A and B are shown apart, each in its own frame.
Chain A
Amino acid sequence: MFSRIRMTTTALGALALGASLSMTPVMAQDSTDPIKLTLHDWTGQLITTQIMGEVLKKAGDNVEYVQADYLAQFAGLESGDLHVAMEMWETTGRDAMDAATATGKVENFGPTGMKAKEEWWFPEYMKEKCPGLPNWEALKDEKCAEAFSTAETAPKGRYLGGPVTWGGFDDERVEALDLPFEVIHAGTDAALFAELESAYQRQAPILLWIYAPHWATAKYKGEWVEFPEYTKECYTDPAWGSNPDMAYDCGKPFGEIWKVGWAGVKDKWPDAYKAIKAFTIDNDEMGQMITKVDLDGKKVEDVVAEWMGANEARWSEWIKK
């Protein structure tokens, strides 16, 4: 460990010396100002961001982490107060991202390689009460719907959707597929998982919106409801699918998780820009790391360091000049 650190510092020193000696700048150098990466409040994003940050540090860039809200951060990305946001989910951040990139001040740095999965989800033990699951048609059965009902929704089943701000077209989906369910919107995802935790502790019925990568799919045993697979036409063309008169008669879209950032990054830190664009990681890797942090109680820093140690070949490829 020690030797590696010393080697890096010597290498850095040599690099700096070289830079100061060469009189004519051959290629654009990264600015020494810190690149500000935003941290949000879920573990996966902390890991993604810190891996990126550590990699950039290895490349000699100056990195600073800034805590920011997932959607409120676009104000900062547009003005150049913030520079890089490592996880912008197709499924929840698309509108905000499109609005921001339309200004020309924010740039999409490409996919992270992770895929966002979002769908209706139920715990394993609900298969007893509703044997047809995970096929969505089982939900049409009145008995099955009643198993998911509460006093407020009875005899209809209760489906706990995401916050209104996530969109997701669940009200439309219920109508298009003629499901005997009522959609209740949680206000935040913390509330969403608080309900799941509560129900799971009591082995009580629950049907709710879950997204992955997330620790919940590792902690709780359960399955996604299998709706007719999403296609673009399903959302735009009423004729598509089982209901000829309505759109949204299918499941939710899969989506990329994007990297976005301030449009000025390309000119100010050209090397870092390349590294950020090159960054990829996949769902399984991320799922394992999230589990280590949220369920095994390890520190984010340690999990990131572990990954850095095990994947040196990969990340050194990203920062190759």
Chain B
Amino acid sequence: MSTPTADSTHRPIAPRLDGAALSWPWLIAGAAFVLFWRYGQPLAQWAFDYPRGWQVPAQRWISNAMKWLLDSASFGLFTFTDLTRFIARLIDLPYQLALSLLSTGFLSGQGSGAVEILPPLSWAAVIAIVTLMGYHAGGRRLALLVAICFGFLAIFGQWNSAMVTLASILVAVPLGVVGGLLLGILAYRYPRFERALTPLLDLMQTIPVFAYLVPILFMFGFGPTAAVVATLIYAMPPMTRITILALRSVPSEILELGKMIGCTRRQMTWRVLVPSAKDSLMVGVNQVIMLSLNMVIIASMIGAGGLGFDVLAALRRLDIGAGLEAGMAIVALAVALDRLSQAYAIKAGSERSAAQAGNFLQRHPYTFAALAIVIVTAVVGLAVPALQHYPESLEVSTGGFFDEVVRWINVNFFDTLEGLKNLVLLNVLVPLKRLLGGLPWLGVTLFLAFAGWRLGGAKLAALVGALAFFIAATGQWEKATITVYLCGISVIFASLIGIPIGIAAAERTRLWKWVQVVIDTLQTLPSFVYLMPAVMLFRVGDFTALIAIVAYAVAPAIRYTVLGLQKVDPRLIEAGRAMGCTPWQLLTKIKLKLALPEIMLGLNQTIMFALSMLVITALVGTRDLGQEVYIALTKADTGRGIVAGLAVAFIAIIADRLISAGAARIKQRLGLA
């Protein structure tokens, strides 16, 4: 590894990070911006408030385009709607199968006139099968963990809803994985396709789901199918990205070998590339599972039912305990599926299928055990109903316990909390909101373009400037500033909390294990569950939104800090120690500096997470782009929703590009690139 001093020649040698921030162009641009902001208003009012007359009616265009697509677009033989409805029916088939298997049983007929032909898998059978899978993939410990997670579902009376949710996950995940894989392979093969796909992937990940929910409902019909489609749009991009990355990093020796032995193109892809990238691909599978579970609440709003519906319904009657139980059931499902998929990933990596011997039964002992379980439990279940349906008398509930906890905190500590809240609100939030709200859109756009130019060149400057201009030109500027204010401050808080925790956890394996459990829970527990208690303690408004965003966005800040610190070359730390550095110097002068690129990446992810929470915080009365998207949803206004959603996406992309460019610079300067 090269030392930081071995830098390129055209820049100063000393790797002083703060030196870059204070260089002359930045100072001049900053001063010009401040001068324009303080004194420019009388000269050019139009640069502060984007004139209404100049607005691009993008909302109307999009709404009209959607209307045309739904009502009159046609491919000759069939219309666009026919096509989407056909796709919907295709997706519905496996979904109905999974649902029948796990929840409703196989029915003949529809609705209340239906007759059960075959019962669904009993709770006992499902638990036995997943435990078996756990044992197969990761041994006894994993089997126990999975059994506990699924047992939790049965014991807390969440079984039926959980199976409905699981059914939609079982459909969405394979579709997402296969779709993502195919797109990734195409992008790997055809660079031109990749160039077209990349911005699309960015948009898919950053436009809030609520923004495109309305057109999806019109296209795919109301119900679980539309929910699966929405989940796919949101959960597929990471799979595609990871596929591209994984295929690229297949060692060239393997490619050469493939060419030498005369593989055709198809063989090359499926026999050489995909198998050797298997390990990384499993990471993508894992991401698809987690993101699909994130969508559970939103999916339940459009007819997917399941645990998400239970969470919403419980909180509407303010039953905090019931909401938390349903929320924890989602976490339990996530943990079980996540650990299972990870274990299979490791297994797939380590075990190159040993020569298969013996008869069919001997080769597939697990499959047979599972089949046996299904048959035995089904037969015994006929005689012992408790085996088929988990008996209600054995269910446990936290009952009013959590309501009492919140009440106790509320009655005893509300005034303290209120004081704390007012302190932050009046001294930090409100002034910052005013400050950002008063900035001229033209000045901000130009300054962003300047930053893009300094960090990444003319191309980046043009991109950043154009995106910022779009926000102003579609009349979203004011809401966008509130969005930036809320997210910005949340990101600062999340970093202030997350980075120290990350530093503390990086060298303490035990602590890190516990921290991981906490952040996994925060990431999968629907935020609605803690949003309502937060409203009780802090009232509706920006502060409550802040809490919800920080709770969600702190996870990547911690994760990437730990990742960065753990990757620091131990020899450098040794060297520092040998030179007599104090622990504090060791941390600030060596470790943190070298971990900076990862921490920057964590910052990037923190921003993305914070932006993705916006729609949720609209539910506690914020006035930002998230609220705009939410209003558009309730009014079924396609254009309005998509324009606001694009504005959110553009904020995300601007932040992402600038930070990535900055991180690349730092990396280069530190000689890590």
Contacts and interface: CB of A to CB of B under 8 A. Distances in A.
Contact of A34 (B113, B213, B411, B539): B113
Interface stretch (B38-46, B295-303, B499-507, B553-561): B295-303
Interface stretch (A75-83, A141-149, A238-246, A277-285): A75-83
A66 B217 CA distance: 14
Interface in B265-316: 300-305, 309, 312-313, 315-316
A165 B112 contact: no
Nearest to B300: A67
Interface string B551-578: 0000000000000000000000000000
Interface stretch (A111-119, A168-176, A194-202, A306-314): A194-202
Interface in A177-203: 184-195, 197-198, 201-202
By secondary structure, the B interface counts as helix
B318 interface: yes
Contact of B223 (A74, A81, A163, A204): A81
A189 B316 contact: yes
Nearest to B311: A41
B317 A194 contact: no
B633 A72 contact: yes
Contact of B309 (A67, A150, A191): A67
A152 to B, nearest CB: 7
A152 B425 contact: yes
Candidate in A33, A95, A201 with the most chain B CB atoms within 10 angstroms: A201
B422 interface: yes
Interface residues of A, number: 55
Contacts of B422: 151-152
Range of interface residues on B (Cβ < 8 Å): 35 or more
Given A165-B631, A191-B619, A197-B536, A34 B112 contact: yes
Contacts of B199: none
A62 B112 CA distance: 5
Contact of A57 (B112, B222, B425, B540): B112
Contact of B621 (A64, A150, A152, A187): A187
Interface in B594-629: 617-622, 627
B196 interface: no
B135 interface: no
B636 A186 contact: no
Nearest to A198: B536
Contacts of B218: 75, 79
Contacts, number: 160
Given A35-B111, A165-B630, A186 B532 contact: no
Nearest to B633: A72
Given A34-B112, A72-B302, A73-B222, A194 B217 contact: no
Contact of B217 (A63, A75, A164, A188): A75
B535 interface: yes
B390 to A, nearest CB: 17
Given A41-B313, A184-B540, 8 more contacts: A34-B110, A62-B112, A67-B309, A76-B221, A187-B630, A188-B619, A190-B315, A198-B414
Interface of A: 32-36, 41-43, 53, 57, 62-64, 66-69, 71-76, 79, 81-82, 95-96, 99, 150-152, 160, 163-165, 184-195, 197-198, 201-202, 204, 215, 294
Q: Which 4 A-B pairs have the closest CB atoms?
A: A34-B111, A76-B222, A64-B111, A198-B536
